[in-house]
Amino acid sequence: MNRAAGADRSRLPLDRVRFVLSHTSHPGNIGAAARAMKTMGLTRLLLVNPKRFPDDEAVARSAGADDLLADARVCSSVDEALADTRFACAVTARQRNLGPPPLAARAAAAEILARTGDGEVALLFGNESAGLSNAEVQRCQRTVFIPANPGYGSLNLAAAVQIVAYELRLAAFDSQPPLYSKTIAFASPPANHQDIERFYQHLERVMIGSGFLDPQRPRRLLPKLRRLFGRAGLEHDEINILRGLLDAIERQSAGRQIDHRSETVGD
């Protein structure tokens, strides 16, 4: 699912997902949550009555996601933050008897993104110490839980945001999100047939010259080496490296032979 269904087909589903943080007490958690969102391509951050915001610590903890903080919308209530949404999920570790149906984060991600075809959707996260109140949870259509260790399920707010954002990104790109790296590719093109055969000829010559291979009794040495290098899938640069090594061995061997002849003549 790479595009949202419905009227606005030019926007990615992730652009229609709000992350709502309710009554966050520590500004550092707001910054860390913004960072977690941005790494997964989510940008819509809403804050319900944060204790301290804006705040320098939020900017510091955002680690470059300060644009999300600058665009964050501060709301006076959960109802205001959820206004105009078509679907909302409360992220909570506690199961509630009177709450909406619970879904694990991975299953929830697929439904959340499917709902973006109808309009805006929201994920609601609670206060660091108290979580979400029953009244807040009941304003949502689903509860989302992270299947953590039953013996210790305590997650930092930003960590919970990161996990849910990651699941949304996987679901948005059918588990194959685009990759981006500033590093230069290490691989070179595969070696062609002629280069590989010249390498084997060179290798055989060096093995015979060094005495490692007896051409009268080759046994299965060469076929085994062909199988070894065949598994490796040799690249063009690798062939050049290997042949450079073989050249160095031949030069060194030739140099030793000249030195040996010189010593013999001197004697």
The one-digit pLDDT tens for each residue of the chain (267 residues) are: 333 333 333 358 999 999 999 999 999 999 999 999 999 999 999 999 999 999 999 999 999 999 999 999 999 999 999 999 999 999 998 877 777 889 999 999 999 999 999 999 999 999 999 999 999 999 999 999 999 998 998 899 999 999 999 999 999 988 676 666 566 667 788 999 999 999 999 999 999 999 999 999 888 999 999 999 999 899 999 999 999 999 999 998 887 766 656 565 555
Cα gap 82→22, rounded to integer Å: 11
User: What's the angle, vertex CA 9, arms to CA 6 and CA 11, rounded to 5?
Assistant: 120
Mark out the alpha helices in 63-213 (DSSP H runs).
Answer: 66-71, 78-81, 105-115, 134-137, 157-172, 193-210
pLDDT at position 10 is 37
Here the tokens at position 109 are 């991600």
Nearest to 18, CA basis, from 105, 95, 78: 78
pTM: 0.69
pLDDT at position 97 is 73
Cβ proximity of 6 and 118 under 8 Å: yes
pLDDT at position 109 is 96
For 120, phi then psi, to 5°, come to: -70, 145
Give exposure, 194-222, as e/b (b: 16+ Cβ within 10 Å): eebeebeebbbebbeeeeebeeeeeeeee
Q: Which helix (H) or strand (E) holds 74?
A: strand 73-75
The amino acid that residue 193 corresponds to is: H
Contacts of 64 (CB under 8 A, 6+ apart): 35, 38
pLDDT at position 3 is 36
